[in-house]
Amino acid sequence: MIMNRTIAFIFCPLLMCGALLAKEPTRTPERRPDISGVSGKSSLWSLFPQESPRSNRHPLFSIFPDPLPDGRTTVTMEASNQFLRPDFEIAENGRAFARFDGEDWGLTLDLARELGPLVFNLRLRGIWRSGGWADQAIASWHTLLGTPKGGRENAPKFRLDYTLIRDDQLVAKLISDRACFMDTDLAVLYPFGNAESGGRLGVSIQAPTGSRDDFSGSAGWDEIVGVALWKSRGYFRFHTQLEYAFLGISDSNPYSLVLERNTQKRAWVGVTYQGRGHDFWNGLGLDITIAYTESPYSIGISRIYTSGWQQHWTFSHTRLSKWKIGLSEEAGTYTSPDLTVFVQYRL
């Protein structure tokens, strides 16, 4: 079922990319940069950085630091839909209640600056959270495919309700439309290697600029450390990124009631194909990445306390080299959004 939905959604980014290409005037094909004689990390970093993996925008995990960025100045707009089945809202032991039904529209700004061998990256995130319209669209899509609706037929349409309660104590809650300014990430990156074989080391500190009350922040200073690696062969690039995150949550913070530990392990692995032509099909690029997110939550609600998987599909084109269009979908768990679509522009 998941793959059928994903394959069908692929045509949306393809059509968008085709429409943009149709409006662009014919140009003389640009030569691929020759970096065989280029030395220095800065030049290689600017030409061929490995893309940063997509974030997990589920409210439970949006309080964690974002993945280490790739050190380029970008603007990203994305929309996520999340839904937890009504029959999964109460924990098996009756001590916890969780409801996640809503839609997020986010705008992320990455500001990167090179300083010697290092790259500093400031990430600012804003999200508009509402009931949205995607629930009805997804339910209709399931009806068209003849597949189960995942409990959406038993929940009110256009509802925003992000609620988490443990032992009758409210952890966080959002039931009315709101613009949220999320926690702010500052990362320091050290790139090494080159376009064919390389990577980057990095650390990030997340400042508590968001609000704990509505899932827009942890109310503490959080950190991550990670490494990204890639290897290119012809038209393909194989890549991975591994991270270890730490939440600076005090014992008085309500999140400590639902977290088994303040640490989280996560990983991404994928392969990228990038054409080198300038017509539609020969210039098309596709990245397929599988993401693993460890769940540190202990609330007794089915599939939220288990680790989650997400699949990411990202499209690119040589004639629109500064643009990325893509989607993410959860792979059978409730530890990531049901569906996320995004458009990114590199400044």
Q: Please, what sign has the CA dihedral across residues 26, 29, 30, 35?
A: positive
Q: What is the mean pLDDT of the segment spanning 254-276?
A: 94
Model's pTM, two decimal places? 0.83
Q: Where are the alpha helices (DSSP H) in 233-287?
A: none
- Mean pLDDT computed over every residue of the chain: 84
Q: What is the pLDDT of residues 152-168, one digit of tens each?
A: 777 888 899 999 999 99
**pLDDT at 132 (0 to 100):** 81
For residue 142, the model assigns a pLDDT of 66
> What is the structure's pLDDT at 70?
92
Percent of the chain with pLDDT over 70: 83
| Confidence band for 231, pLDDT divided at 50, 70 and 90 | very high
Q: Which of these, 180, 226, 154, lies nearest to 59 by C-alpha position? A: 180
Of 80, 55, 6, 76, which is closest to residue 241 (Cα–Cα)? 55
The letter for the amino acid at 71 is: G
User: For residues 273 and 288, is the Cβ–Cβ distance under 8 A?
Assistant: no
Superfamily of domain 2-22+40-80+113-125+182-346: monomeric porin ompg (2.40.160.40)
Report pLDDT for 306: 85
Q: pLDDT band at 74, cuts 50/70/90? A: very high
Question: In the prediction, which pLDDT does 85 show?
Answer: 86
Torsion angle (degrees, nearest 10) of CA 278, 283, 284, 290: -150
Tokens representing residue 306 in the block: 């288990």
The answer to whether 346 and 316 are in contact (CB under 8 A) is no
Q: Quick one: pLDDT band at residue 123, thresholds 50, 70, 90?
A: very high
Q: How confident is the model at residue 304 (pLDDT cuts 50, 70, 90)?
A: confident
* The pLDDT of residue 149: 65
pLDDT at 342 over 70: yes
- 322: closest CA among 9, 24, 44? 24
* Alpha helix segments (H runs only) across the chain: 2-23, 41-47, 134-145
Q: What token pair was written down for 197? A: 């074989």
Token match 């209640």: residue? 97
CA angle 298/105/139 to nearest 5° reads: 75
Q: What is the pLDDT of residue 202?
A: 96
Which comes out higher in pLDDT, residue 174 or 337?
174
- Taking residues 320-330, report their average pLDDT: 92
CA distances from 344 to 30, 141, 192 (A): 22, 26, 25
